[in-house]
Amino acid sequence: MSKFNTDAGMPIALTLDPGTYYRCACGQSQNLPFCDGSHQSAEHMPIEFKVSERKKVYLCSCGQTAKQPFCDGSCGVNITD
Ligand code: FES
C-alpha cells in the first residue's frame, strides 16, 4: 500500500532551483512534498533527486509512477510542458 496521497492523484508542480532534494515517502513530513526527517523506519526512506538547472518538475503524488519521484502520467494527467 502506498503512503503517498492517493486521494490527490495529481502531480505536484514545483519550480525548483539547482540542488539535491528529498521527496518524502512516509507521509509524516511537515514540509511535504519534501522530507523533514520525520520517518521512523527504513521502510519508507525519502527519495533523493537532483535538479541541475532551475526548472519546473512534476512530483508524483499518486504512487503509481514508474519514475519516482516524478509523475510519468500513470495518474492520467498529461504533462506537456
Ligand atoms: S501523480 Fe503519480 S503518475 Fe502522475
Closest listed residue to residue 3, CA positions, set 59, 43, 50, 48: 43
Between CA 56 and CA 60 the distance in angstroms is 13
Q: How confident is the model at residue 5 (pLDDT cuts 50, 70, 90)?
A: very low
Q: Is residue 74 part of a domain?
A: no
Alpha carbon 24 to its chain centroid, in Å, reads 7
24 CB under 6 A from ligand 1?
Answer: no
pTM over 0.75, yes/no: yes
Q: Is residue 62 part of a domain?
A: no
pLDDT in tens, 7-54: 557 999 999 999 999 999 998 999 999 999 998 877 889 999 999 999
Q: Is residue 22 part of a domain?
A: yes
59 CB under 6 A from ligand 1?
Answer: no
The domain tally of the chain equals 1
**Residue span of the structural domain in which 39 resides:** 17-55
Q: Is residue 27 part of a domain?
A: yes
71 CB under 6 A from ligand 1?
Answer: yes
Q: How confident is the model at residue 57 (pLDDT cuts 50, 70, 90)?
A: very high
Q: Is residue 10 part of a domain?
A: no
